[in-house]
Chains A and B, each alone.
Chain A
Amino acid sequence: MSKIRIATTSLAGCFGCHMSFLDMDERLVALLEHVELNRSPLTDIKHCGPCDIGLVEGGLCNTDNVHVLREFRDNCKILIAVGACAINGGVPAMRNHFTLRECLEEAFLNGVGVENPQIPNDVELPLLLDKVRPLHELVHVDYYLPGCPPSADEFLSVLGDLLEGREPALPKKLLHYD
């Protein structure tokens, strides 16, 4: 059986969803026998190639996130929004209650102990979006994996279903609040 190719990325997230993926522990080793990792923070592949599944953590907070998400959508047959941030913006979206300028000014102009106050502005810095947005506002999302973060068991359940060609459905015991 040829391996299933998976890409993963973190956009405006905290990496907790990726850490939870690694929380499969020894089961990750078994999974990797059926899976080939493409672009991911764990590999040195910088751009997503053609993949079967894309796992995306975090919402959209800047134009880099937008480009990466488009790249994932263009290349992945199945795109999964992983975790609260990807699904509805999560904690980073708390900034939506303020204007971007207020947030920038607090960090770089009015913060405690700030030397040389100025708002960073350089061609190397991606533009920030006015609001943090969930993935589905930009691209079509095939599945949503809830949780902050989703547990390792959830990842295994969904990936197991997809590997075996079933429509993924989380068993009831995995659907719960913290």
Chain B
Amino acid sequence: MEQNATSPSNQGHPSNLRRVAIDPISRVEGHGRITLLLDDENHIHEARFHIVEFRGFEKFIQGRPYWEVPFLVQRLCGICPVSHQLAAAKAVDQLVGVERLTPTAEKLRRLLHFGQTLQSHALHFFHLSSPDLLFGFGSNPAQRNIVGVLDKYPELALKGVKLRKYGQQVIAAIAGKRIHGTATVPGGMNKILSIAERDALLVDIKDILAWSQDALALNEQIHTANPEHRDFATIRSNFLSMVGSGGELEIYHGGLRARSASGATIFDQFDYRGYQQIIREEVRPWSYMKFPFLIELGKEQGWYRVGPLARVNNCNFISTPLAEAARKRFREFGQGGFVHDTLAYHWARMIEALHCAEAIYMLLHDDEITGTDLVADLGEKRREGIGVIEAPRGTLFHHYQIDEEGLITKANLIVSTTGNNQAMNESVRSVANEYLDGHEITEGLLNHLEVAVRAYDPCLSCATHALGKMPLQVELLDADGALLDRLTKGSNGMIERTL
């Protein structure tokens, strides 16, 4: 924790507000910061969640051949690389004129994505968030981590480690390695799943199903047994997600559905290739992550939430029985309406983890999964491709244009976490006003703000695919142009010699 009474934030605040920063936010993936401005009585004047990193992907991808993109772009995010690879691959399929994959290729892609979602959800709960939920939001920070959970609840923590491991093994069987493997080719997949590989995955699937049920039961119990969890960081919002053609939960391919906080349909089964007609992204000066909104509702009202809470609320049903039974209990908890509780993200996430385990079980028992027909016939080349997928953290958009040689000329990504940008800010404000306002700020109270952000499972690593602000740099050159000295003004306002 850094408290800095003379920070530059005070400038322009005649009332001399004090700045408190949580920097970095820990137990999330990527780089984020929360800042508070407080007066002498500790009343909150401003609470913000900033993304402080910028990458510039939309620019530096330009000029690269389209077939390279899935493997480049997955390096935005080492937690959900498969989701990026698949969203890009779906766009690439359009570039090469493929409407429909072979049955085996489509099933392999689905299996790959279920493995990805299972491992990501397990990682988020067990490795990152469970310490808050098991030990308490204001508990001892030295214990509040996966090592503490391994100490206190070894059996539970080990199940979490193995759930994540299994998801990674599914990925490795299809993509060659656990992180940044290669699986897709334009119009299909590059490798079969051998019978031996399939059989190896079958060995543990029963345990995985059982442990996913345990993880769900634990999260369901934590949420329903703690009334204070209902209101913590809770906001009412619109929800956006993909659904299947029957309105079922769908994470690989379907139409877009948006519903308002009260459940009214804003649009449904919308073809995502037209996303520019429904979504725009606002830039605000204090974050590198943009703020998307539904055009129909406008900048003020049009923000929404994505991810497990949105998907489980938005779908009509889940196609696998255990997860569907869990969804019904979730729905009952919401008394037939949407569950807006921010902490219910954890519960919804574990419903999805169970769905992934069930879906993996079914795909491994499907004979077509070991088929050998992997690539569809390529059609007429096109200049534009738009791939959308439900990544673990929410709806992920990849959009590319190419020139006649197949080199990228334009790229746009709306990464999942961006979808929750406004919501995370709203939740941070809600917790700041409810729990911190007027109190002496302690480490435990500050962790409450991080608990609110963590519920969304933000991946700030891929949220920062854009680039940031200009460094102020002065260079002294001699008559021949050789660099003699260089001064740089840092983010803290200090001028440093950086030669």
Contact = CB atoms under 8 A, between A and B. Distances in A.
Contact of A101 (B2, B21, B290, B470): B470
Contact of A125 (B144, B286, B461): B286
Contacts of B293: 115
Contact of A178 (B164, B176, B280): B176
B28 A62 contact: no
B279 A90 contact: no
A125 B288 contact: yes
Nearest to B275: A113
A3 B359 CA distance: 42
A95 B283 contact: no
A41 B29 contact: yes
B78 A18 contact: yes
A61 B491 contact: no
Nearest to A41: B26
Contacts of B150: 29, 32
A19 B182 CA distance: 17
B321 interface: no
B168 A94 contact: no
Interface in B1-42: 1-2, 7-9, 11, 21-24, 26-31, 33, 35
A149 B470 CA distance: 30
Contacts of A28: 161
Interface in A84-103: 90-92, 94-95, 97-98, 100-103
Interface stretch (A8-16, A73-81, A154-162, A164-172): A8-16
A105 B28 CA distance: 28
B161 A118 contact: no
A9 B64 CA distance: 30
Contact of B164 (A22, A42, A98, A113): A22
Given A42-B27, A106-B58, A111-B58, A149 B78 contact: yes
B288 A15 contact: no
Contacts of A2: none
Contact of A14 (B26, B164, B462): B462
B198 interface: no
Interface residues of B, number: 97
Interface stretch (B48-56, B237-245, B259-267, B336-344): B48-56
Contacts of A98: 56, 59-60
Interface in A116-145: 116-130
A129 B282 CA distance: 24
A29 B156 CA distance: 13
A120 B145 contact: no
Contacts of A175: none
Given A23-B178, A125-B288, A125-B491, A14 B470 contact: no
A106 B59 contact: yes
A46 B491 contact: no
B58 A115 contact: no
Contact of A25 (B35, B162, B179, B459): B162
B490 interface: yes
A62 B141 contact: no
Nearest to A9: B24
Interface string B392-425: 0000000100000000001010000000000000
A115 B290 CA distance: 9
Contact of B471 (A42, A43, A119, A129): A129
Interface stretch (B69-77, B217-225, B226-234): B69-77
Contact of A22 (B81, B127, B465, B472): B127
A124 to B, nearest CB: 5
B85 interface: no
Contact of A124 (B33, B56, B79): B33
Contacts of B248: none
Chain A interface residue count: which class?
35 or more
Nearest to B461: A15
A1 interface: no
A91 B72 contact: yes
Given A41-B27, A46-B24, A149-B78, A95 B55 contact: yes
B477 interface: no
A96 B284 CA distance: 25
Nearest to B282: A115
Interface string B338-355: 000000000000000000
A66 B178 CA distance: 30
Contacts of B493: 123
Contact of A37 (B35, B147, B473): B147
Given A41-B26, A111-B58, A111-B412, A29 B158 contact: yes
Contacts of A127: 468-472, 488-491
Given A23-B178, A98-B60, A125-B286, A64 B52 contact: yes
Contacts of A22: 123, 127, 164
9 contacts: A23-B165, A90-B75, A100-B467, A114-B290, A116-B283, A123-B7, A124-B9, A127-B469, A148-B75
Interface of B: 1-2, 7-9, 11, 21-24, 26-31, 33, 35, 48, 50, 52-56, 58-62, 72, 75-79, 81, 123, 127-128, 141, 144-147, 150, 157-158, 161-162, 164-165, 168, 176-182, 276, 279-288, 290, 293, 299, 399, 410, 412, 447, 450, 459, 461-462, 465-473, 488-493
Interface pairs A-B: 3 shortest CB-CB: A16-B78, A103-B56, A107-B466
Given A103-B56, A125-B491, 6 more contacts: A41-B27, A42-B147, A64-B31, A103-B466, A123-B493, A126-B52
